[in-house]
Structure 1
Amino acid sequence: MVMREYLLGNAAIARGILEAGARVVASYPGTPASEVVEILAPLAKKYDLHVEWSVNEKAALEVAIGSSWTGMRAAAVMKHVGLNVAADPFMTLAYTGVRGGLVVIVSDDPFCYSSQNEQDSRRYAQFACIPCLDPADPQEARDMTIYAFELSEELELPVLLRSTTRVSHARADVEVGQPKETRATPQFLKNPARWVALPAHARPRHSVLLEKQDAIKSALEKSPWNQLVLQGRSELGVIASGISSLYAEEAIKQLEAEADISFLRIGTFPPPEGLCSEFIRHVSKVMVIEELEPVLEEYVERVARVHNPDIEILGKRSGHIPREGELDPYIVRNAIADMASLPLVEPPSQSLREAAAILPPRPPALCPGCGHRAAYYAMREAFGTDAIFPSDIGCYTLAVDMGTIDTCLCMGSSITIGCGIRFSGEERDICCSIGDSTFLHTGLPGLLNAVYNKAKITVAILDNSTTAMTGHQPHPGTGVTASGDKTKSVSFEALARALGADFVETVDPYNVKATIETFKRARDYQGLSVVIVKRACVINERRAGIMRKPFMVNENCTGCRECVEFGCPAIEFDGDSARINSLCTGCGVCAQICPNDAIEMVK
């Protein structure tokens, strides 16, 4: 009997991991990939599966590698920029290879919905000379995940499964099977010539990797996710990959009454040379459609030089397909219509663009009662607006309009960028802000670097006891594992002191005066200072049943707007005075910053 479930794309990937019989799954949370582990974690004990939130993506991949080297199947899950963090083991792993199937699951983010760039992870697969699978929908995401483990073991190489935001967060009816419950017995087999990446060992292992390239091509040539549909009378063709292939297929059906267009759908990288060459010989003009980088287009150009040098190739290089952002059915439909000299259609999003021109902007904001807002307010009061404020990746960057976030580059960069600014000769005060999970991810080396090189900066660790931005996942500072088991909770104070910081103070941002005074002492300290601003995430507090009485504006309000400019969504300006709405969580910070005692707790 066929079983079907209505699944999120990431849930389909999680299902594929279960059905493939993986033993270890490790990840660091990052949108759009977070749900894979969130779905697997509650099932870990039932299926004898080790699921963990690792401290960062490098650690996650190395945990998965260790499992694979015992002969067990394993997966490392991360967002695209996480692969940058894991790149060191990722590249050398292609040399050493694997025993148990190892799948690196990466979700790219076209249009930067929740990321600082929109890099294309297929480039990493090219760089490492390993196979890459590019699912177009949740069904393929599940099927390709299972196949990726099989292919990994067949080739003894890691396999990259590259999803995108649209695939990871789409929902579809997915045909599923039963989770695999029988596994081999784990055993690490000592083999220094393979597992110890010394130069003398790496050179022959590189040769082994290069010799496997023909086997990779042969395996993917037979893949069911590469499909060729030739139209006998057509000189026009479309080659597409990933979710773009669904858009292209839909557009070709819409235009079939007016034009015969051959179609080649690609789901694997490297693409199948046999199908590509057959397709290229059949048409005189081809459009290559893919999101982000022209990876497929470059491959088509190379094949065309051999099999049809006169073919006209359209795509990103010709300007027909944008190289940045997310594609959609209208972009793809109009690009194909343009190639076929057919009328274009106006996308309905035009009306949204017109509406955006007249609607007031609504930038993302910190939650009502968020301790980060109070921390940044106190930081600004203590350091002044002329100070320099390097910041980091996390929900606290939503406070960018408060004037206390001047830089944000990548995970853990705030402290080291602050060091560079100081060492360049900049004399203004520098206060870096970094979240608790981000500090554990890649902030520790930065703080050690600052201590070692005597940087006079202040580091504010914003500890809200969760990885809030990606869905409130636990981290080593929370005392809870991914599976909900209690574990040791690390102390940020102890970590900072162990790394050599002498000035370390902890403060509750809900106490505004104390927080301002703490930041002033940190500012004036002649050396590196660390301020740990500790207040649990207000969302988690409410989930735990912690409720406070709300506040209200009384008759003392003069309309000075001091509280409104604080930026809390619970505070509005109604005519001549402020008003506190039902979003109030009772943090009481606004009452402390009001110069007229016009805000008080509801009695």
Structure 2
Amino acid sequence: MIIMIELRSTLLLGNQAIALAALASGVSVAAGYPGTPSTEIIETLMEYKDIYVEWSTNEKVAFETAYGAAISGARAMACMKHVGVNVASDSLVSSSYTGVDGALVIVSAGDPGMWSSQNEQDNRYYGLMALIPILEPYDPQSAHDFTVKAFEISSRVGHPVILNTTTRVSHVRAPVKTLPRSSPVKGSLRKRPDRYSLVPDVARRDRDLQLERWEKIKEELESLVVVSGSGRKAIVASGISYPYVKEVLEDWRLQDEVKLIGVFSPVPLPDKVGRELMDVEEVLVVEELEPIVENQLKSFVVDEGLHIRVQGKKLTGRSGEMTLNRVRLAISKFMGLNSEVLERHLQPNVPPRPPAMCPGCPHRSSFVFMKRGVILGGMKETFYSGDIGCYSLGVLPPFNVQDSLISMGSSIGIANGVYRSTGTIPVAVIGDSTFFHAGLSSLANAVYNNTPLLVVVLDNRSTAMTGQQPSPSENMDIARVAAGLGVEYVSVADPFSTDFSKAVANAISWVKVNKKPALLIAKRACALKAVEGFSERPLAFVNEDKCTGCTICYDHFTCPAIMRKANKKAHIDPRECIGCGACVPICPFNAILLKGEKPEGWDRAWLS
């Protein structure tokens, strides 16, 4: 295990602990794409100017940037959320064949329970498929320690390593004892086509070397198993499940009756785990999501001819986050204890709290005027093919403009399939950062195959959903990029203006006539970013003499600052209003006005 040099503790997020561990390991190149819950790793590393750190346009580019550095002998890190690994997977799998000359650590930040993701896939499967070892921390301290361990293994063996963290590790704060910084380990120009140019002959040789490294990796992971207690029953706990199991056994005074085996390298499962089970009759495996450890353990039991009953997902469940209550229930059943009281209290009665777009969010206006524009364009109905971003909230009423929402950049490709199978002209809705992340190839496909669809790019010049990280649209003109791809109809409009409906209608009319894709850019800055630096700003208010209580502003526009009074008339909370003025053109009776002067630079902050 890691021996800590500094005794002083610092209160850190798990992601900050990972970043500081990378610095202690000599990282010199780091790249990532913003994605909850991984974002703070790159943000923390960006504070250090003597290493190279970038927000890449997508996870594939981020991984390949780190991979290229590690090929050159540098110590490098790529950071992304779990679904981002899908984007990087092509090169990721090949990196296991070639290995690296330096060190390469990939942080995959999972989201069990899908708090901010479209799925909760278990990326430990990538370790099994690609033969890449997985280290799995359980708190911020272990996140720091295992990051250091990951760099050590990668450097010694010359192989990529995945650090598999989760929301409850990345986004929890705890005291962490951190190692001091090391000098960045940079690369040098190396030309090794016999290793890194994966034509079939090279790939076949690399495959044999990969399997040799895999055996060395198994030896390296023996230290990542901790054992306590004894008895004829054992519990094997992986990652964040370990402290939950430990707490339950201590609370119930079972720590001396049950052997507890903590596993922090679930792939490949260390041989030590099997050796610790030789005198055991029954095993419970507790792990989040898929039965990765459970299945490996069952294979070991069969291969060794052991008579051990192995239980896991039948008692713990397969979906969602592992929780203390789930662990209590599983252990009570495993130990033959009374679980009826626990089962009655497993589901807390928490009132629903649907998410909402921020006051001043330009996407709200885009959706309202987009729906009007579709009707003005002569389409009674269409298919709204959505994408990943703040605008995903358009799936909720009253907007209802995300009929599908699959993955980054999927909007245009899905729209193509919808048109080809139904003949209905669809509307693809995609954000500016997502457009550069994964929308370019599908837009090129739409041009290449003459797909009649309208692409609406919501350009708020920010990767806003993950905390206003920069977007390529800040210095790359989306209109020029689209035109360069061959899109013949490209238009830009302000979603705060009623003219946005006309812009949508005009684009749809062009698509209907020409049977080709058109692209409309809704250009207005993220509200949180636009108002930064302004101590004073205008405020919206309602003229009650003109307000008829029609409900449009609070029921159909749904800005959080607009409230309904007892008499149905609208009231705008000055504490919530940011003075954007988006609500002014929404009112058909001109009852909403702005008061106060716009500070200098106000319009430029929203529109430049």
What residue identity is the alignment partner of 2:138? A
Say whether residues 1:362 and 2:361 are aligned partners: no
Show the 5 A alignment for 1:192-591.
192-221=193-222, 223=223, 225-231=224-230, 234-256=231-253, 260-307=257-304, 309-316=306-313, 319-344=314-339, 350=345, 353-356=348-351, 361-384=352-375, 386-400=381-395, 401=397, 402-427=399-424, 429-478=425-474, 489-511=475-497, 513-525=498-510, 526=514, 527-545=516-534, 548-554=537-543, 555-564=545-554, 565-576=556-567, 577-582=569-574, 583-591=576-584
**Secondary structure of 1:531 counterpart:** strand
Deviation, structure 1 residue 28: 0.3
User: 1:78 aligns to what SS in structure 2?
Assistant: strand
Q: Is the 8 A contact 2:367 2:401 kept in 1?
A: yes
The letter for the 2-side match of 1:214 is E
- SS in structure 1 at match of 2:490: strand
Hey, what's the Cα distance between the residues in 1 that align with 2:257 and 2:429? 58
Alpha-carbon distance, 1:158 to partner: 0.4
8 Å Cα contact 1:273-1:303 kept in structure 2: no
Report how far residue 277 of structure 1 moved. 2.1
Give deviations 1:381-436, integer Å, cap 9, x for gaps: 01146211101000011122202111100000001111111111332x31111000
Partner of 1:3: 8
Q: How far apart are residue 314 of structure 1 and its match?
A: 1.3
Following TM superposition, by how much is the alpha carbon of 1:586 offset from its aligned partner in structure 2, in angstroms? Answer: 2.2
Counterpart CA distance in 1 for 2:244 and 2:238 is 10
| Cα distance change of structure 1 residues 137 and 439 upon mapping to structure 2, 3 Å threshold | same
Which residue identity is paired with 2:509? D
Give the conservation status (yes or no) of the 8 Å contact 1:22–1:74: yes
Q: CA deviation at 1:587?
A: 2.5
Cα 1:307–1:253 shift into 2, 3 Å: farther
Q: Which residue of 1 aligns with 2:43?
A: 38
Letter in 2 for 1:265: G
Give 1:571 deviation, angstroms: 1.2
Question: In the TM superposition, what is the alpha-carbon distance from 1:519 to its structure 2 partner?
Answer: 0.3
CA distance in 2, matches of 1:349, 1:26: 46
Change (3 A) 1:78 1:257: closer
Alpha-carbon deviations, 1:501-560, whole Å to 9, x = none?
A: 11111111111x210110000110122111010001110111132854111121111111
In 2, the alpha carbon distance for the partners of 1:154 and 1:355 equals: 49
Match of 2:33 in 1: 28
Deviation by residue 1:91-145 (Cα, 9 ceiling, x = unmatched) = 0111111011100111110000110000111110111112110111111111111
Q: Which consecutive residues of structure 2, in runs of 5 or more, have no partner in the other structure?
A: 1-5, 597-608
Cα-Cα RMSD: 1.8
- Distance 1:257-1:139 versus aligned 2 partners, 3 A rule: closer
After superposition, the Cα gap between the structure-2 partners of 1:530 and 1:182, relative to the gap in structure 1 and judged at 3 Å, is closer
Q: 1: distance between equivalents of 2:344 and 2:357? A: 28
Task: Find the aligned partners of 2:46 and 2:412 in 1 and give their Cα distance.
Answer: 32
Give the alignment partner of residue 155 of structure 1, picking from 157, 160, 163: 157
Contact 1:14 1:39 in 2 (8 A): yes
C-alpha distance in structure 1 between counterparts of 2:25 and 2:504, whole Å: 52
Q: Which amino acid aligns with 1:404?
A: V
**What is the rounded CA distance, in whole Å, between the counterparts of 2:229 and 2:562 in structure 1?**
62
**In 2 relative to 1, CA 56–158 (structure 1 residues): closer, same or farther, beyond 3 Å?**
same
Equivalent AA in structure 2 for residue 417 of structure 1: I
Supply the distance in 1 between the matched residues of 2:463 and 2:344 (Cα, whole angstroms): 34
Residues paired across the two proteins, number: 577
Asked whether the equivalents of residues 329 and 342 of structure 2 are also in contact (C-alpha less than 8 Å), the reply is no
For 1:547 and 1:450, the matched residues in 2 are separated by: 45
Q: Is the 8 A contact 1:369 1:568 kept in 2?
A: yes
* Distance in 2 separating the partners of 1:349 and 1:570: 39
Amino acid at match of 2:367: Y
Once residues 313 and 2 of structure 1 are traced to their aligned partners in structure 2, the CA distance between those partners, rounded to angstroms, is 41
Q: What amino acid maps onto 2:456 in structure 1?
A: A
Deviation at 1:597, TM superposition (A): 1.9
Equivalent in 3, 13, 17 of residue 18 of structure 2: 13
Partner amino acid for 1:270?
A: V
SS of equivalent residue, structure 1 residue 320: helix
Contact (CA 8 Å) 1:230, 1:279: kept in 2 or not?
A: no
Amino acid at match of 2:565: D
Q: Which amino acid is the alignment partner of residue 546 of structure 2? A: N
After superposition, the C-alpha distances for 1:539-591 in whole angstroms (9 at most, x for unaligned) are 01111328541111211111111111211111111122111112122222322
Q: 1:280 is aligned with what amino acid? A: L
Q: Is the 8 A contact 1:281 1:307 kept in 2?
A: no
Q: Which runs of no fewer than 5 residues in structure 1 stay unpaired? A: 479-488
**How far is the alpha carbon of 1:602 from its aligned partner?**
3.0
Contact 1:134 1:267 in 2 (8 A): yes
1:275 to partner: Cα distance: 2.2
C-alpha deviation, 1:86, in angstroms: 0.1
Q: Aligned partners of 2:384, 2:271: CA distance in 1, in Å? A: 55
| TM-superposed deviation, 1:601 | 2.0
The CA distance in 2 between the partners of 1:475 and 1:348, in whole Å, is: 47
The alpha carbon displacement at 1:455 in A equals 0.7
Comparing 534-543 with 588-597, which one deviates more in the overlay? 588-597
Equivalents in 1 of 2:286, 2:452: separation in Å? 51
Query: C-alpha displacement at 1:592, in angstroms?
Result: 1.1
- Matched ranges for 1:77-116 at <5 A: 77-116=79-118
2:587 to 594, 600, 603: 594
Change (3 A) 1:520 1:547: farther
Deviation track 1:265-301 (CA, whole Å, cap 9, x = no partner) reads 0001335543222232222111100001100000110
**AA at the equivalent of 2:208:** S
1:38-70 residue CA offsets vs partner (Å, 9 max, x unmatched): 111022x1xx10000000000001110111111
**Retained in 1: the 8 A contact 2:238–2:266?**
no
